């Protein structure tokens, strides 16, 4: 997961050459953590934790796969698509 986040940061900076856009990646990763953590605690109490971790890791893998496919489809994928994938990755990571 750390390697994926470093790769995403490098890709965004390489595509935009903007430190502001790189900072937005950090913001998109951080914003859903607090509300999702509160919700994830309730989910962890109500459901099987092994299944939750499996679904969260599957979601993270799907985000990685979507980034790979977008990179292969477009030489430079739209930055908005990367932000959406980072948001989904952060949500899955918070649930895990």
Instruction: State the DSSP code for 31.
Output: T
Percent of the residues in the chain that have a pLDDT greater than 70, as a whole number: 100
CA 26 – CA 8 distance, rounded (Å): 11
> What digits encode the pLDDT tens for the residues 31-41?
888 888 888 88
Q: What is the pTM of this model?
A: 0.85
pLDDT tens, 16-32?
999 999 999 999 999 88
Write down the pLDDT at residue 37: 83
Taking the alpha carbons at both ends of the chain, their separation in whole angstroms is 12
Low-confidence ranges of the chain (pLDDT < 50): none
**In contact, 84 and 27? CB cutoff 8 Å:** no
């Amino acid at each position: 997961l750390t390697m994926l986040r470093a790769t995403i940061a490098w890709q965004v900076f390489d595509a935009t050459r903007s430190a502001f856009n790189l900072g937005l990646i950090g913001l998109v990763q951080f914003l859903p953590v607090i509300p999702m953590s509160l919700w994830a605690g309730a989910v962890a109490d109500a459901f099987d934790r092994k299944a939750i971790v499996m679904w969260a890791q599957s979601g993270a893998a799907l985000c990685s796969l979507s980034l790979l496919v977008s990179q292969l489809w477009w030489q430079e994928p739209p930055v908005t698509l990367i932000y959406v994938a980072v948001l989904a990755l952060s949500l899955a990571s918070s649930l895990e």
